[in-house]
């Protein structure tokens, strides 16, 4: 009989994951549950059955694509906390946190995303906060979000025409989208970024030489001193309560000069 890989045991002439009795998903990378990607609104259910229980899942990734793992736990009316009741960590095969995969959440919900830098297998580890007002069961989802919509550096800036609206998405956490605009000296331009109620836009504008001209929130009137290509770095400002700092936004630029 063939030997089973580490984390698996013999069962009925085959190998199965070596799980603790009563556990629905493995607690280690070696016993991780393999997952396929889900539709955007699809979820599956699992249980954190003890205070120390964690659930580990594995999934294949392709370099250059963004992957998001989310968890949601249901709360009873008596819950008064503000911290996420489940937390997701994205890991490599050695159990180390994947660079750039910091997550964010709100009561009952948490998600972590990562832009894969190489093909391979990644892992999601779910652990929970326990209290009498928190259900042990939770829903989870794994979504392939596709490639990054805009570059993160000045060299990768997407050229855009003044007057045209940009729709984009900040993901993963800490993502920056860079837009390039050709502006004319002596003109004043209104720059506007809008996100949903739980995210606050931030903008960093650089002149033709790459120097920072200003950094502001979601609205600014820019008086241009030098003609040429200017870049706008769009991001979400951390800090607002319940802000996930990931999600969609719209950006517009308007020439206010008659």
Both tokens of residue 139? Answer: 């829903």
More confident residue, 76 or 194: 194
Residues 10-57: pLDDT tens digits? 555 556 555 555 567 888 899 899 999 999 999 999 988 788 889 999
Separation CA 99–CA 23 (nearest Å): 29
| Average pLDDT of the residues of the chain | 87
Both tokens of residue 26? Answer: 């493995």
Say if residue 80's pLDDT is above 70. Answer: no
Of 135, 130, 139, 128, whose CA–CA distance to 76 is shortest?
135
Residues 203-213: pLDDT tens digits? 999 999 999 99
Separation CA 110–CA 49 (nearest Å): 19
Q: Where along the chain do the CATH 2.60.120.380 domains lie?
A: 8-147, 154-255
SS3 104: strand
Q: Do 125 and 96 contact (CB within 8 A), yes or no?
A: no
pLDDT, average across residues 176-198: 93
Residues 120-161: pLDDT tens digits? 999 999 998 776 656 788 999 999 999 999 999 999 999 999
97 DSSP assignment: B
Q: 8-147: which CATH architecture?
A: Sandwich (2.60)
Separation CA 145–CA 70 (nearest Å): 12
> In the structure, what pLDDT confidence band is assigned to residue 79 with cuts at 50, 70 and 90?
low
Name every residue whose Cβ is closer than 8 Å to that of residue 96 and which is 6 or more positions away in sequence: none
Classify burial at 230, counting beta carbons within 10 Å of its beta carbon; exposed 0-12, middle 13-18, buried 19 or more.
buried
Of 68, 45, 46, 85, whose CA–CA distance to 122 is shortest?
68
| Fold held by 154-255 | Jelly Rolls (2.60.120)
Separation CA 192–CA 180 (nearest Å): 14
Question: Between β-strands 177-183 and 158-160, what pairing exists: parallel, antiparallel or unpaired?
Answer: parallel
Separation CA 235–CA 213 (nearest Å): 16
Residue with tokens 């599956």: 44
Please report the pLDDT score of residue 6 as a whole number. 47
Please report the pLDDT score of residue 241 as a whole number. 58
Separation CA 46–CA 42 (nearest Å): 14
Range 157-163 contact pairs with CB under 8 angstroms and sequence separation of 24 or more:
157/231, 159/229, 160/253, 162/189, 162/253, 162/254, 162/255, 163/252, 163/253, 163/254, 163/255
C-alpha torsion sign, points 171, 172, 175, 180 = negative
Question: Between β-strands 200-206 and 166-170, what pairing exists: parallel, antiparallel or unpaired?
Answer: unpaired
Please report the pLDDT score of residue 135 as a whole number. 75
Both tokens of residue 17? Answer: 């994951």
Please report the pLDDT score of residue 53 as a whole number. 87
CA 86 to chain centre: 15
């Amino acid at each position: 009989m063939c030997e089973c890989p580490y984390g698996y045991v013999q069962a009925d002439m085959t190998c199965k994951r070596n799980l603790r009795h009563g556990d629905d998903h493995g607690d280690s990378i070696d016993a991780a549950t393999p997952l396929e990607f889900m539709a955007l609104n699809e979820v599956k259910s699992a249980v954190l059955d003890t205070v120390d229980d964690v659930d580990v899942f594995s999934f294949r990734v392709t370099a250059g694509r963004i992957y998001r793992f989310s968890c949601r736990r249901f709360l009873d009316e008596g819950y008064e906390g503000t911290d996420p009741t489940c937390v997701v960590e994205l890991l490599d095969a050695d159990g180390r946190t994947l660079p750039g995969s910091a997550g964010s959440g709100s009561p009952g919900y948490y998600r972590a995303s990562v832009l894969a830098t190489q093909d391979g297998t990644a892992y999601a580890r779910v652990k929970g906060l326990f209290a009498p007002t928190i259900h042990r069961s939770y829903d989870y989802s794994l979504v392939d979000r596709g490639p990054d919509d805009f570059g993160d550096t000045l060299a990768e800036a997407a050229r855009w025409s003044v007057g045209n609206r940009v729709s984009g998405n900040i993901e993963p956490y800490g993502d920056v989208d860079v837009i390039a605009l050709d502006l004319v000296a002596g003109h004043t331009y209104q720059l506007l970024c809008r996100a949903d109620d739980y995210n606050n836009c931030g903008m960093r504008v650089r002149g033709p030489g790459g120097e920072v001209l200003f950094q502001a929130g979601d609205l600014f009137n820019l008086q241009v001193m030098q003609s040429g290509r200017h870049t706008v770095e769009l991001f979400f400002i951390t800090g607002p309560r319940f802000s996930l700092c990931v999600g969609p936004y719209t950006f517009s630029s308007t020439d206010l000069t008659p």
